[in-house]
Amino acid sequence: MHELSLAQNLIEQLVRLAAEQHAGRVVKARVRIGPLAGVVVDSFGFGFDAVKSMFAVTCETVLELDCPSAGYRCLVCGREDDQRKPADAPCPDCGEKGKQFPVGDDELILLQVELEGEDGDKIAG
Amino acid sequence: MCDQCGCHTPVDGNPAKETKETVTLTVKESLLAANDEQAAINRRHAESQGTVVINLISGPGAGKTTLLEKTIDILDKELKIGVLEGDIETERDAERIRSHGIPVVALTTGGACHLDAPLVYRGLQQLDDLTGKDALDIIFIENVGNLVCPATFALGEHFRVVLLSVPEGSDKPAKYPRAFLTSQIFLVTKKDLLPHFDFSLEEVKSDALGINPSLQILPLSAASGEGVHDWIHWLREIVKDRQPSVVAGESLYR
């Protein structure tokens, strides 16, 4: 549910950046959502589309999301896997069941923006 | 092509791409930057008065308000306590706390599922108005009852405390890891109900420590009083230790 607030934050960041750079339009914004950021990616994209039309500079902005998947670590022996195993599948190393936990970063970062100048002006930066 | 007005705009929505220059900028700024900046201001504001700020997070009904009432009754003779009471609607919890005779500010979010740092800043200022020059030792922020969203928003707290009650089930740390990942203290509340529920203290502890190995876990019951002593002891210690470690410590949060 907090994804809409986060999308609003992003839009505010983009509007500010566009003003700082004297850009007429934000063409693209690239955002990284870490696997443990606690953000539902679809809801975030939905929120972004809902909010972006509030500003002329963002109303056509394309959102690009970089969402690496989590790794999974066995709590008992520390074995790491790329995929989550079913809860009843034993760990290949130690045999424990249901002890896999997601690991990864919780970053939520605006990585890059593509800006377009006003009336063909070149953007400083 | 644009399928709305026939203007021959390409579907990526850029009608004059060929005539306008674009520039790509590397930004690398957190989406939470504005909130985090305000949270840092909140923390410094509290530190300037020597106040320790504690953010309480749990699902609805885990017993945050009841534990606060119990805590205030035990500590209000020795420590000056204030509360920021977050709720989506109503001032019911704020009224409950206020009846214990301590300064309380209700932060009604009007729908939002979490508190954020700007709202807490306004609350801190109102709390200042209530207490005057009499600085508080501890400010508890009771977050909106929600084990998910509040975990993403720093409020300027020195310590984050997550509560999980026995009736909610011992599988919650595994299902809602972020609140446990970002907290320093985990209170298992309503411990007196253990005989009546299929709740494994062992499971909850091992799962929570799997997510956050440095998490301190205290099972307690505000109703029976069991375990409350450990919580009170922890609070006394952090107030005692606040010079200089807590007051100076940007790094104490996370």
Domain containing residue A52: CATH number: 3.30.2320.50
pLDDT tens-digit map of A67-97: 999 899 888 898 999 988 887 889 999 998 8
Classify residue A84: in a domain, yes or no. no
Number of domains in chain B: 1
Residues in chain A, pLDDT under 70: 1, 119-125
Classify residue A90: in a domain, yes or no. no
Q: Six-digit token pair at B167?
A: 């009736």
Classify residue A59: in a domain, yes or no. yes
Question: With contacts defined as CB-CB under 8 Å, which chain B residues touch A51?
Answer: none
Q: What is the pLDDT of residue A102?
A: 84
Locate the chain B residue with the closest alpha carbon to A60. B13
Q: Which residue range(s) make up the domain with B231?
A: 33-252
Q: Six-digit token pair at B64?
A: 């945050």
Q: Which alpha helices (DSSP H) does chain A contain, by range? A: 3-20, 41-52
Instruction: Tell me the average confidence (pLDDT) per consecutive run of 10 residues in chain B, 254 residues long.
Output: 49 54 92 93 91 96 96 96 92 93 93 91 96 91 94 95 97 91 96 97 93 95 97 95 57 38
Classify residue B12: in a domain, yes or no. no
**Residue contact A106–B14, C-beta within 8 A:** no
Closest CA to A86 of A75, A73, A76, A100: A100
Q: What is the pLDDT of residue A119?
A: 60
Check if the beta carbon of residue B157 is closer than 8 Å to that of residue B53. Answer: yes
Classify residue A80: in a domain, yes or no. no
Question: With contacts defined as CB-CB under 8 Å, which chain A residues touch B145?
Answer: none
Q: What is the pLDDT of residue B6?
A: 45
In angstroms and rounded to an integer, the radius of gyration of the C-alpha atoms of chain B is 22
Q: What is the pLDDT of residue B17?
A: 46
Query: How far is residue A21 from each of residues A7, B9, B230, measured CA to CA in Å?
Result: 21, 25, 54
Classify residue A94: in a domain, yes or no. no
Mean predicted lDDT score pLDDT of chain A: 90
A91 min Cα distance to partner chain B (Å):
15
Largest separation between any pair of C-alpha atoms in chain A: 65
Classify residue B5: in a domain, yes or no. no
Q: What is the pLDDT of residue A79?
A: 92
**Residue contact A106–B181, C-beta within 8 A:** yes
Classify residue A41: in a domain, yes or no. yes
Classify residue A62: in a domain, yes or no. yes
Q: What is the pLDDT of residue B186?
A: 98
Strand order in the sheet with A23-33: A62-66, A23-33, A108-117, B22-30
Classify residue A82: in a domain, yes or no. no
Number of domains in chain A: 1
Q: Which residue range(s) make up the domain with A15?
A: 3-69+105-117
Q: What is the pLDDT of residue A121?
A: 58
ipTM entry: 0.79
Check if the beta carbon of residue A15 is closer than 8 Å to that of residue A109. Answer: no
Please confirm whether the linkage preceding B244 is cis (ω < 30° from 0): yes
In this structure, how many other beta carbons lie within 10 angstroms of the beta carbon of residue A47?
22
The domain that contains B81 carries what CATH number?
A: 3.40.50.300
Phi, psi of A105 (to 5 degrees): -95, 165
